Amino acid sequence: MSQAFNLSLEESPYGSSNKESSTGSKKINKADTNTVDDTSPTLEDFVTDKGVNEPSEAAEKQHETDDGYKNTKVADNEFIKNKFEEVFERTLNEYYKDVLHIHESNTSQSDLESATYELEKFERNDMIIFNHENFMSERKRRGTSLDVVALENTFKQYRFHVTTYNDLTENNLFVELKKFSRRDFSGSGCICVAILTHGQDNGYLRAYDTRYWERDVIACFDARSNPTLVAKPIIFLIQACRGHQPAAVVEGVPKPVRTVELDAIVRLDKYRRPMDSDIIMFHSSFFGRASIRVVEEGTWFIQTLCEQIRLHAATDHFEKLCRRVRSIVAQKEYEGAKQMPVVTSTLLKKLYLKKTPPNNCIVM
């Protein structure tokens, strides 16, 4: 039986006029983007390496010449190395305890040296979903509710307490995001933020009324502002186009209908993304490319991710699951339309999702 597909591109309320193109290169001011003020003190403000550096080669030679300890240089260097490690460890622990006010049990030496994020030590994980189906000036994202159901059902099995918001304005989105990011995460092992919306290149995403920067979402999760985020893995799932280039235009044919659409809007200004540790960002598509959403099934990206978590989370760490998702989505095609998810990771350990026992399921 023939199938009908309707591949369409969702246009921006800004349009593609010359006026918009001319303003595209203008710098976006802080009021327009809700950029988070990054003036908090850094680690360097509290901890310096003065007095604990290993001596340079020149210093070693000087020590050898001045004091005549040539035969004991190796022993001296071993002593200095051990002393350096002792001072560094003590300084790091003092930074966690005194500066960031983090309880010692959350920053033990075993935690620092472990090869995995030990989520089993925590009573829960936390997830927030921003789902956008309706827009003031954009085409409706039909089928996105199926992705919400898949995310909620899947992540709740892995001890995530899930909160979902639909069709928020840009201001309300950041109000809720900042509330979430400022929680006390002492009892949480992992944090996840999922955004399902229209997107475009240069890191722009769409709220109900206007656009906002992906960069500003990430900036909310700064451990300098919330010490309970320190060493906690943070997952960002971004289901949105990252460009205005559709892979193909598909003509309609008779039922059964599977309506394929693109989560794309027009190109605008420059974008810079900050990097930090313990973060993994999983985008649904490559730079400048569109993402595909099947109205009757949900998006290729979210549906495949949830399926792979259910099938393989018991044995595979999260980055390996991401590789599986990339491979599966890359093989999907309809009339030449392709999609390539992208992972950007600064995780320092392996992240294994821990499933909730059947008699302990979380129902929100």
Which of the pair, 138 or 274, is modelled with greater confidence?
138
Cβ within 8 Å of residue 74, ≥6 positions away: none
CA angle (154, 157, 161) in 5-degree steps: 90
Domain boundary among 69, 92, 113: 113
Residue 269 lies in a domain: yes
Residue with tokens 């289901």: 239
Other C-beta atoms closer than 10 Å to the C-beta of 313 total 19
- Number of structural domains in the chain: 2
Q: Residue 97 has what pLDDT?
A: 54
Beta bridge partners of 338: none
Asked if 97 and 224 sit in the same domain, the reply is: no
Higher pLDDT, 56 or 153: 153
Give me the pLDDT at residue 94, please.
Answer: 60
Q: Does residue 109 sit in the same domain as residue 191?
A: no
Q: Within this chain, do residues 77 and 137 fall inside the same structural domain, yes or no?
A: no
Q: How would residue 77 be classed by pLDDT, with cut points 50, 70 and 90?
A: low
CATH code for the domain in which residue 223 is found: 3.40.50.1460
Crossing angle, helix 144-156 and helix 300-312, to 10 degrees? 20
Domain membership flag for residue 203: yes
Does residue 331 lie within any of the structural domains? yes
| pLDDT tens digits along 105-123 | 344 444 556 899 999 999 9
List, for residues 255-272, the tens digit of each pLDDT value. Answer: 455 667 767 654 434 333
Average confidence score pLDDT of the chain: 74
> Is there a single domain that holds both residue 234 and residue 356?
yes
Judge whether 281 and 321 are in contact, CB under 8 Å: no
Residue 189 falls in which region: left (phi positive, over 0), alpha (psi -120 to 50) or beta: alpha
Judge if pTM exceeds 0.75: no
Q: Are residues 301 and 331 in the same domain?
A: yes
Tell me, yes or no, whether 108 lies in a domain.
yes
**Of 98, 113, 128, which residue sits at a domain end?**
113
Q: Can you give the pLDDT at residue 213? A: 93
**Residue 10: band (very low, low, confident or very high) from pLDDT cuts 50, 70, 90:** very low
Same domain, 122 and 81: no
Does the residue 3 lie in any domain? no
pLDDT of residue 224: 85
**Does residue 337 lie in a domain region?**
yes
Q: Which of 7-11, 100-104, 206-210 shows the lowest per-residue confidence on average (mean pLDDT)? A: 7-11
pLDDT of 288 reads 85
Residues 170 and 199 in one domain: yes
Q: Quote the domain boundaries for residue 91.
A: 54-113
Rg (CA), the chain: 25
